[in-house]
Amino acid sequence: MPRGDLFPDIAPYETGLLPLSGGHVMYWEQVGNPRGQPVLFLHGGPGAGAGAIHRRFFDPGHWRVVIFDQRGAGRSRPLGELRENTTPHLVSDIEVLRRFLGIEKWLLFGGSWGSTLALAYAQAHPERVAGCVLRGVFLGRQTEVEWFLYGLRRVFPDAWAAFAEHIPAAERTDLLGAYLRRLCDPDPLVHGPAARAWSLYEGSCSTLLPSPETVASFAQDRSALGLARIEAHYFANDLFLPPEGLLGGMERIAHVPAEIVQGRYDMVCPPDTAFDLAGAWPRARLTIVPDAGHSALEPGVRTALVAAVERFRRRG
């Protein structure tokens, strides 16, 4: 699809590997203006990893863009590792990276699971957050997980059937447990096909119109394993969020300005979640894109995201 509304391709000016707890090693990179306004990109999943396309939401002449792959994801290692891989670990990792890079405060930019992690980090460290740009909001509530696992069949019955039929009929009342057992199996002949089936399901439901390019990106073996295994692990553990959920901590960031971009026909993270978040956030501006689904790369969504970032640029 044409992506002329994004900024041009750009290479990082610095990359590195940062040791973390539990044997994890974080891949990180910086892009754009080394003296610019800091912004942190938080990828989705959990476990999806970041890519070169994500650098292009930000004007490289203005922003100091920090991108990293979360534990077990993308170029971080070991790939798909679940030990010491929880939301509090990821929040702590962001602080390790911030201190390592000498950044006082930054704008957070995250979509889907990236919006969840942005909120968790902001509520833990509000003094370090200049603002938030969030897309395809996911709050990690049980109803949202159940929608992904079962509710999506009402709109994507064919994609859901392929997802469910990877599991024997006797186990389909607990798709999450059945998938997690297979995804954690050490045999690549077991975890590989399960990872592809999970990831293809998510990719197939992520755009308003069919997008073979999107589905193909989800089907790649390395990205599929990180996404499927870590996502199932987090889903099985209530996303490692506090009992009151993220909406229960909104008073901590009531003063933080936010831009929320939501596709009207987002089936992976339906719009009512974004409405709930905006209703609990006095300084949030909600933009509904009328002709888009979940993907950040759908034309209306990426245009709205770039505009949202530019509004923060003008704030200074």
Catalytic residue among 115, 191, 233, 266: 266
Q: Any catalytic annotation for residue 272?
A: no
Dist CA 240 CA 89 (whole Å): 10
Catalytic residue among 76, 112, 204, 223: 112
Angle at 17 between CA 131 and CA 6, to 5 degrees: 45
As a 3-state breakdown, the chain gives helix, strand, coil percent values, each rounded to 5, of: 50, 15, 35
Across 51-161, the runs of DSSP E, i.e. the strands, are: 63-68, 106-111, 129-135
Dist CA 6 CA 65 (whole Å): 15
Angle at 294 between CA 289 and CA 297, to 5 degrees: 80
Amino acid (one-letter) located at 139: L
The β-bridge partners of 262 are 288
Q: Any catalytic annotation for residue 276?
A: no
Q: Any catalytic annotation for residue 112?
A: yes
Task: Characterise 24 by phi-psi region: left (phi > 0), alpha (psi -120 to 50), beta (else).
Answer: beta
DSSP annotation of 17 reads E
Token pair recorded at residue 189: 């002949």
Catalytic residue among 223, 233, 294, 295: 294
Report in angstroms the alpha-carbon separations of 214 from 1, 145, 201. Answer: 10, 22, 11
Across the chain, the runs of DSSP E, i.e. the strands, are: 14-19, 25-32, 37-42, 63-68, 106-111, 129-135, 258-263, 284-289
User: Mind telling me the catalytic residues?
Assistant: 112, 266, 294
